[in-house]
Amino acid sequence: MIEECLVVEFRVMGDDCPLARATREVEAPLDCRPPQARRDGNALLRFSVRGEYEALVERLDGDGDIRYLHVSNTDGIANVRCLSKRPCVIHRLVDAGFMVESVQYRDGVETYVGAVVGHDVLRGVLEAAGETVGVTLERVSPLGTTDDAPVARRWDLTLAQEAALETALEMGYFEIPRDATASDVSAELGIGKSAFLERLRRGQTALFSQLFGGNRS
């Protein structure tokens, strides 16, 4: 049995997959589930877009490599499912042994976080990366049994709660004194103040419950 597992992060530039092309043209960061490759070479995609998403959806709907596009909207977050006839670079890394955990697209740049089991597998994944476009190894670290990296642990938050917490942190809502008010953050999120405070409360409760072993929701 191989006891060593490594957390690995890759950065990819120059991919010609539909999501990379779309985010190069439309400013709409995407948080993706690991894509599922089909035997026919197509890929099943599922991802979320926060805030304005209409331009991105329109861009994908006009892409000849995208089929069966479906969009659902919950609390200002678009959940998109579709079939891509052009798989992305990540499938080559997965074939070499990379266990993908999260995929993000920002301005045409992809970030993959996942794990590999042992250095031999890592070498094979790096060889596969070297044969593709613009793949850079950003980080490698051992994965411990109590590691809180994405591969080892996921916080049980909704996308809306995550967006509320992340935006509040970025705008300085938690600073002392505060750099932004609840009204400022809610305006940035495009929701009402009471909705923001409710998401913040529920998100904090979920985080603290997991950190300190509570079971309140």
Q: What is the pLDDT of residues 173-189, one digit of tens each?
A: 999 989 999 999 999 88
Q: For position 13, what pLDDT does the model report?
A: 92
Q: Pull the structure tokens for residue 143.
A: 């994965």
Bridge partners (DSSP) of residue 46 are 81
Residue 131's CB is within 10 A of a number of other CB atoms, namely 10
Asked whether the bond before 177 is cis by omega within 30 degrees of 0, the reply is: yes
- Which residues contact residue 107 at a Cβ distance below 8 angstroms, ignoring those fewer than 6 apart? 23, 24, 27
Backbone angles phi, psi at 174, to 5 degrees: -90, 0
Listing DSSP states for 160-182 in one string gives HHHHHHHHHHHTTTTSSS-SS-H
- Distance CA(210)–CA(162), nearest Å, equals 15
* pLDDT at 153 (0 to 100): 43
- 18 φ/ψ angles, rounded to the nearest 5 degrees: -60, -40
Tell me which of 34 and 45 has the higher pLDDT.
Answer: 45
- Which range among 72-76, 123-127, 151-155 has the greatest average pLDDT? 123-127
Residue 125 CB-density burial (10 A; 0-12 exposed, 13-18 middle, 19+ buried): buried
Q: Using 50, 70 and 90 to split pLDDT, how confident is the model at 110?
A: very high
| Ramachandran angles phi, psi of 91, nearest 5° | -65, -35
Q: How far apart are CA 12 and CA 9, in angstroms?
A: 10
| Beta bridge mates, 74 | 77
Residue 148: what pLDDT? 46
Q: What mean pLDDT comes out for the span 58-85?
A: 90
């409760």: which residue's tokens? 205
Q: Write down the pLDDT at residue 75.
A: 66
pTM for the structure as a whole: 0.66
pLDDT at 83: 95
Q: Write down the mean pLDDT value for the chain.
A: 85
Q: What is the pLDDT of residues 2-29, one digit of tens each?
A: 667 888 899 999 888 999 999 999 988 8
User: Is pLDDT at 214 greater than 90 in this prediction?
Assistant: no
Q: What is the mean pLDDT of residues 135-139?
A: 90
